[in-house]
Amino acid sequence: MSKILLLGGSRQQIPSILCAKKKGCHVITCDYLPDNPGHRYSDEYHNISTTEKEAVLALAKKLKIDGVVSYASDPSAATAAYVAEEMGLPGNPYRSVEILTKKDKFRSFLYEHGFSTPKSKGYFSYEDARNEFLSFTAPVFVKPVDSSGSKGISLVHDINDLKKAYDNAQFFSREKRIIIEESVSAYLYQVAGDGFSVDGNLVFRCFGNDHFDLGNSNPFVPVAATFPCIMPLEIQAKIHEEIQRLINLLQMRTGAYNFDIRVGKDGKIYLMEVAPRNGGCYIPQVIKLATGTDMVKYTIQAALGEDCSKLGAADPKGCYGYFSVHSHNAGILKNIQIENSVRKNNILKVYLNQMIGDKIKPYASSNAAIGIIIMKFRSSSEMLELADRPDKWIKVIVE
């Protein structure tokens, strides 16, 4: 029986745990949150932070694992790569994964290799950031270099607003490092989605459309992703080529990726995020509905060094998406009202993180979602209308 170590046990990581169990693996989970619901499904749990790579390595050696996975989690992706590399297990190069999971390193790598990328620079001190602020063309984004779920992001128009944005970004950075990055004016929707490489070839990708709620305290965290992508096919082909070039340069091998990509109004392809892990918010489950491709299964197989050669391109058949149930305000959750026709015609499954009577936070990052709704749409026009205008069909009531 293969032993597999899954880094994390959050609600969204349960599919990977169940997949490994179904495969007959002895499943081990670890993180610093013993009450995480995923641990109830694993064979054993260890209270070790997934970002403490030496401690996780010691655990992995002690347990003599056969594979390690960071499913739907940026913070632990580098740990998984480190453990795999140190133990000679299947995985992608640790150095390359570090580049993909550190925003300043990623931007520098893209620039050095001729990719289109916004001007940016990482900073450890506010003084250095302030001294160089005027060298950027405002508005600029100020972000933690190493956070996930869109935490700690601010759009800054004026140097007088920099200190607040800097402190906010640094608060969410484990390394206490931030990045200043010029903004990119996007053509159509930001491109979302997941992909998978086998032996260095991007054999599967499913692009979608990111949707945002400008009424949120952080309007830069997606509230939905819908599939298929409405971007012209020739542009999607160019995006594929740029991702493949990145995979080649980083000498990535076999594994999953989560994408956030912008096509500029200048026609250039901007790889904003190419995270070396499956997407969160149940994106792999949405993609399975759309294409029939089970990316969770291939992620587990890849971690164990098993053959993934059967994975190939598959276009979406029908329109699907996820929607993050969220509130603009903090308070006590009193009710979630959903328009009857949407409840009947579009909703396939609901995953709730909060229950009526719970305290909820405003939607400033993806981990503040009250829940995730998996949806099917009868047309692309209905898909975009419901994802762009959730105020027409769902109301979250808080007091």
Q: What DSSP assignment string belongs to 113-142? A: TT-B---EEEES-HHHHHHHGGGS-SSEEE
- Is 274 in contact with 100 (CB distance < 8 Å)? yes
pLDDT number for residue 362:
93
Can you give the three-state secondary structure of 144-177, one letter per residue?
ECCCCCCCCCEEECCHHHHHHHHHHHHHCCCCCC
- Is 205 in contact with 193 (CB distance < 8 Å)? yes
| pLDDT tens-digit series, residues 92-150 | 999 999 999 999 999 999 999 999 999 999 999 999 999 999 999 999 999 999 987 78
pLDDT number for residue 364:
86
pTM above 0.85, yes or no: yes
Question: Which of 203, 293, 222 has its CA nearest to residue 262?
Answer: 222
Question: Which of 77, 109, 46, 83 has its CA nearest to residue 247?
Answer: 109
**Beta strands of the chain (E only): which ranges?**
3-7, 26-31, 44-47, 67-69, 120-123, 140-144, 154-156, 178-182, 191-198, 201-211, 224-227, 255-263, 269-275, 319-325, 331-338, 347-352, 359-360, 371-377, 394-398
First to last CA, the chain: 51
What is the rounded distance in angstroms from the CA atom of residue 263 to the CA atom of residue 13?
A: 30
Contacts of 365 (CB under 8 A, 6+ apart): 149, 150, 151, 152, 218, 221
**Which two structure tokens, joined as six digits, stand for 44?**
């054993």
| pLDDT tens-digit series, residues 272-318 | 999 999 999 999 999 999 999 999 999 999 999 999 999 999 999 99
User: Edge-to-edge strands of the sheet including 191-198?
Assistant: 269-275, 255-263, 191-198, 201-211, 224-227, 319-325, 371-377, 347-352
- Is 42 in contact with 17 (CB distance < 8 Å)? yes
pLDDT number for residue 148:
76
pLDDT number for residue 149:
74
258: three-class secondary structure by DSSP? strand
- Is 7 in contact with 50 (CB distance < 8 Å)? yes
Contacts of 137 (CB under 8 A, 6+ apart): 119, 182
pLDDT number for residue 217:
77
Average pLDDT, the chain: 96
- Is 92 in contact with 302 (CB distance < 8 Å)? no
What is the rounded distance in angstroms from the CA atom of residue 53 to the CA atom of residue 242?
A: 31
| pLDDT tens-digit series, residues 313-344 | 999 999 999 999 999 999 999 999 999 999 99
DSSP 304: T
pLDDT number for residue 216:
82
pLDDT number for residue 150:
81
- 112 by Cβ neighbours in 10 Å (0-12 / 13-18 / 19+) ranks as exposed
Average pLDDT over residues 209-228: 92
Phi, psi angles (nearest 5°) of residue 387: -75, -35
CB-hemisphere CA count at 13 Å for 388?
Answer: 10
